[in-house]
């Protein structure tokens, strides 16, 4: 029995993007165990993945006055466990100080991928674009090339633990035909401001569910409060049919009365029309990650920032409108779909800004002060083909 250790410490979206490598390792290498090293707080992303035989996690070590020490100490804490496993190969999909610490400590053959930090720096600081036209998933596969493992073209995976049901906490959630609107983001410059989100919600007259983490709950409450005191939503808009947002001249319209045979999308498609306005439901901070993922899986359309939930939506091959602020799809982390993807994906961004991209990650506020990359996005455009 061979054993392979895959390393990716964070974050939600980045870990989801490793899942094609995990699947292909397990399926293409006979008699092989696949173990995964990550942070404990990201265990829920992988805990139901059938292609992983063991998850090893590290915790952040808190220093003086609550300051977080680099997780190098956490890696040292599990090094003995990893040495005991006797790994045959290490797949480093993080490529940082911590992963190098693991490689040096275990002294086993390894593969990694090419990071684009210098090229990202060039385009962020000098607008010199030397970025390759390749998704990060395909770059990840370079780490397993010497093992003879190849991309099977089946896209991302996301597995939800059995029995996960967000309606146990929020029984009034709709079961089908709703739009999932992801209002959160790790950095403020990757998020639409409140007034833009309110304007977007006003264009939707059917069920809308707001998704995000605990840090987004107050924003969700503010959006709903402003909608409740503002004018009535535009009567000419209704919850958009994804087929009308993304027309495909080569396909025929599905039977609206049929149910998809795919259990990952158990909703009628297209969603039924709505005749009255329904206020959004704020689930931010009220659901676990996998409960939110269940709603993503059942949504008719996902409107999202460049976030982990965007990649989870791609794993379920959903119809996606992704909204981009200070980051750009050219970084190679846009929604990644299987080769036989039959849904529709639309990228919404403001092109031609001299200041964009300003960072490969994001900021707490716009460095230029105008935030045009998000303020210039028109909610009307968001919902048009």
**Closest of 157, 163, 156, 144 to residue 49, by C-alpha:** 157
The domain spans of the chain are 2-147, 166-382
Position 186 scores a pLDDT of 87
Q: What is the 3-state secondary structure (H, E, C) of 96-157?
A: CHHHHHHHHHHCCCEECCCCCHHHHHHHHHCCCCCCCCCCHHHHHHHHHHHHCCCCCCCCCC
**Phi, psi at residue 43, to the nearest 5°?**
-55, -40
Determine the Cα–Cα distance for residues 329 and 348; give it in Å rounded to an integer. 10
Position 241 scores a pLDDT of 58
Element (H, E) at 4: strand 2-7
Q: Which two tokens stand for residue 58?
A: 């590290």
Residue 66: how many other CB atoms lie within 10 Å = 6
Helix (H, G, I), strand (E, B) or coil at 25: helix
Q: What is the 3-state secondary structure (H, E, C) of 222-291?
A: HHHHHHHHCCCCCCCCCCCCHHHHCCCCCCCCCCCCCECCCCCCCCECCCCCCCCCCCCEECCCCCCHHH
Helix (H, G, I), strand (E, B) or coil at 51: coil
Contacts of 100 (CB under 8 A, 6+ apart): 92
**Closest of 243, 239, 275 to residue 342, by C-alpha:** 243
What average pLDDT score do residues 17-21 get? 98
CATH for the stretch 166-382: 3.40.50.2000
What average pLDDT score do residues 124-142 get? 97
Residue-wise pLDDT for 97-113, tens only, equals: 999 999 999 999 999 99
Determine the Cα–Cα distance for residues 331 and 333; give it in Å rounded to an integer. 6
Q: What is the mean pLDDT of the chain?
A: 88
Residue-wise pLDDT for 302-337, tens only, equals: 999 999 999 999 999 999 999 999 999 999 999 999
CATH for the stretch 2-147: 3.40.50.2000
Q: Which two tokens stand for residue 284?
A: 């931010």
Least trusted range by pLDDT, from 41-55, 75-89, 197-211: 197-211
């Amino acid at each position: 029995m061979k054993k392979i250790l895959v390393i990716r410490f964070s974050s939600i979206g980045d870990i989801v993007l490793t899942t094609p490598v995990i699947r292909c390792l397990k399926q293409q290498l006979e008699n092989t165990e696949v173990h995964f090293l990550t942070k404990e707080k990201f265990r829920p992303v992988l805990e139901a993945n059938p292609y992983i035989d063991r998850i090893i996690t590290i915790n952040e070590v808190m220093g003086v006055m609550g300051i977080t020490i680099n997780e190098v100490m956490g890696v040292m804490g599990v090094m003995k466990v990893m040495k005991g496993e006797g790994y045959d190969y290490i797949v480093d999909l993080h490529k940082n100080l911590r992963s190098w610490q693991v490689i040096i400590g275990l002294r086993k053959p390894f593969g990694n991928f090419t990071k684009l930090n210098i090229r990202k720096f060039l385009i962020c600081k000098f607008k010199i674009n030397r970025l390759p036209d390749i998704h990060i998933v395909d770059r990840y596969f370079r780490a397993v090339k010497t093992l003879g493992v190849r991309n099977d073209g089946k896209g991302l995976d996301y597995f939800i633990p059995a029995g996960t049901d967000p309606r146990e906490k929020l029984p009034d959630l709709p079961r089908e035909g709703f739009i999932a609107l992801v209002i959160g983001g790790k950095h403020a410059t990757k998020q639409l401001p409140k007034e833009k989100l309110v304007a977007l919600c006003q264009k939707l007259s059917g069920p809308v569910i707001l998704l995000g983490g605990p840090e987004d709950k107050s924003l969700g409450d503010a959006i709903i409060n402003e909608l409740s005191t503002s004018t009535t939503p535009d009567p000419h808009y209704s919850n958009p049919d994804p087929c009308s947002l993304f027309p495909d001249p080569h396909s025929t319209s599905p039977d609206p009365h049929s149910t998809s045979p795919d259990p990952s999308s158990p909703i009628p498609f297209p969603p039924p029309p709505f005749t009255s306005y329904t206020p959004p439901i704020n689930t931010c901070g009220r659901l676990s990650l996998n409960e939110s993922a269940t709603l993503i899986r059942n949504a008719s359309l996902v409107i999202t920032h460049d976030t982990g939930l965007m990649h989870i939506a791609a794993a379920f091959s959903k119809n996606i409108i992704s909204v981009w602020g200070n980051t750009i799809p050219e970084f190679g982390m846009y929604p990644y779909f299987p080769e036989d993807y039959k849904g529709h994906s639309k990228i919404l961004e403001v092109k031609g800004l001299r200041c964009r991209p300003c960072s490969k990650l994001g900021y707490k506020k716009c460095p230029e002060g105008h935030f045009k990359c998000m303020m210039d996005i028109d909610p009307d455009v968001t919902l048009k083909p």
